[in-house]
Amino acid sequence: MLSAAVRRFTTSAVRRVHYEEGPGKNLPFSVDNKWRLLVVMCGFFGSGFVAPFLIVRHQLLKK
């Protein structure tokens, strides 16, 4: 009896969800504008790449 109630709940919960389908629709950022995506990705990955060099430079310039 409990399993039937759980099954009814899960199937109705799945039916109530209305996500858009298609490539890029499940991402937390837009992929429609390729130039904006390029700038955002360069900023994101570039900041992670540059951070160690800036930290070392800061440490070397400290007195």
Write out pLDDT tens, residues 16-59.
Answer: 666 677 777 888 888 899 999 999 999 999 999 999 999 999 99
Measured CA to CA, the distance from residue 32 to residue 36 in angstroms comes to 9
| Side chain identity at residue 2, one-letter code | L
pLDDT score for 33: 92
Measured CA to CA, the distance from residue 46 to residue 49 in angstroms comes to 5
Q: How many CB atoms within 10 Å of residue 40?
A: 13
List b or e across 10-22, with b for residues whose CB sees 16 or more CB atoms inside 10 angstroms.
eeeeeeeeeeeee
Three-state SS at 43: helix
CATH of 2-61, one of 4.10.49.10, 3.40.50.10420, 3.40.50.620, 3.40.50.300: 4.10.49.10
- pLDDT over 70 (residue 15): no
Q: Look up the pTM and report it.
A: 0.55
